[in-house]
Amino acid sequence: MCGIAIINVILGCLAFIFQIMALFVSDDFHAYSQDLAFTGIWGGVYLILFGALLKNHKIGSGTIKVLAVGGVIIGAILIGLYSWSINSYPLPVDSCQGWDYYNPPTILLSCSRVVVDSLLIGCGILIVLVNTIIASKASSLVLTSY
């Protein structure tokens, strides 16, 4: 089951990268308060470390369950924060191309923001699913030696 650990590491890397992308495409850094939490960065590091420990069989069943619940919480936070971000857009998301009427220089940034927020929500959903599977299979992930 080391494949699930690698998937967790990949999701951690994606969350980290998508959070950095969100910071770069924000036209006004302080306007997006959900970015100030840096959830993708610290959550990504957490998932990478958890995946590495899981792959190397360095933790027990109870610890795996606790860390997997932490991963589920990180995924839920990503989903919540970036759903809130999409909900707080000044115009409907489907009229992204119409944003140039309001502020021509930021049209590319605004449309990119929609994409990055959606990627972070998708990443959060996958993080919740993978860590739920890890928590349910915790006892089979432990390498026991007699």
The model's pLDDT over 26-66, given as tens digits with 9 standing for 90+, comes to 766 556 667 777 888 999 999 999 999 998 888 888 898 99
Task: Give the integer Cα–Cα distance in Å for 111 and 28.
Answer: 14
Q: State the DSSP H helix or E strand holding residue 10, giving kind and residue range, or none if neither.
A: helix 2-25
DSSP code at position 36: G
Question: pLDDT tens digit string along 57-72?
Answer: 888 888 989 999 999 9
Structure tokens at 19: 């959070």
Average pLDDT over residues 101-122: 71
Could you tell me if 8 and 134 are in contact, meaning their C-beta atoms sit under 8 angstroms apart? yes
Enclosing H/E stretch for 79 = helix 61-87
| Whether residue 146 has pLDDT greater than 50 | no
Q: Where are the domains of the chain?
A: 2-139
* Distance between first and last Cα of the chain: 20
Contact 130, 71 (CB under 8 A): yes
Comparison of pLDDT for 61 and 101, the residue scoring more? 61
- Average pLDDT in the 122-133 region? 96
